[in-house]
Amino acid sequence: MKISLIAHDRKKNDLIQFVTAYKQIFAQHELYATGTTGLKIMEATGLNIHRFQSGPLGGDQEIGALIAKNEMDVIFFFRDPLTAQPHEPDVTALVRLCDVYAIPLATNMGTAEILVQGIRRGDMHWREIIHEQTKKDEENL
C-alpha cells in the first residue's frame, strides 16, 4: 500500500510521534512524504521514505498527481487549522482529490488512529481491487 505523510509546520512533531508509535505498521508499506516532513520522519524512525518537494514548493501537488493516477492509497495529512498557509489552494486541491478518488485522508490524530488500525487489520483490501480494475481499464484502451 502507498501511504503519504504530510504535516504543516506546527503539526510535524505530532506526525513524527504518530509514525514512531506505529513504525511497525508503516514499515510494511511504501511511504511518501513532502520534503521537510519526510526528512524529519526518516531521521526519527529510520524508515525509507520517498520525498517530494516541500508543500509550498509543490510537494502537495506531486502527491495530488499520484492520487489522480490512482497511485496513492492513504494520506495522513496533519493540518494546522489555526495558521494561514501560503499554499492553501494546493492544500484544498489535495483534499478535493482525496474526495474525488475516495482516498482515505486523516487530517488529525483522532482520524489517524482509526485509519492506521484499519490498515493494521487489513481493512484496505478494497484499494487492491481498485488497482486491478484500473489496470484492466488501461489494457482495454
The domains located in the chain, with CATH, are: 2-139 (3.40.50.1380)
- CB neighbours (10 Å) of residue 132? 10
Q: How confident is the model over 37-85, as pLDDT tens digits?
A: 999 999 999 999 999 998 888 899 999 999 999 899 999 999 998 887 7
* Residue-level pLDDT at 55: 84
State how far the Cα of 99 lies from the Cα of 107, in Å rounded to an integer: 13
* Residue-level pLDDT at 46: 98
Residue 93 pLDDT greater than 80, yes or no: yes
* Residue-level pLDDT at 97: 96
Which of 60, 80, 90, 123 is flagged as catalytic?
60
Are the C-beta atoms of 108 and 138 separated by less than 8 Å?
Answer: no
Are the C-beta atoms of 71 and 1 separated by less than 8 Å?
Answer: no
* Residue-level pLDDT at 130: 81
Return the percentage of the chain with pLDDT > 70, whole number: 100
* Catalytic residue status for 137: no
Q: How many CA atoms lie within 13 A of 60 on its CB side?
A: 22
Residue 108 pLDDT greater than 80, yes or no: yes
Q: Average pLDDT, whole number, for the chain?
A: 92
State how far the Cα of 7 lies from the Cα of 130, in Å rounded to an integer: 27
State how far the Cα of 35 lies from the Cα of 50, in Å rounded to an integer: 9
Cell 520517498 locates to 50
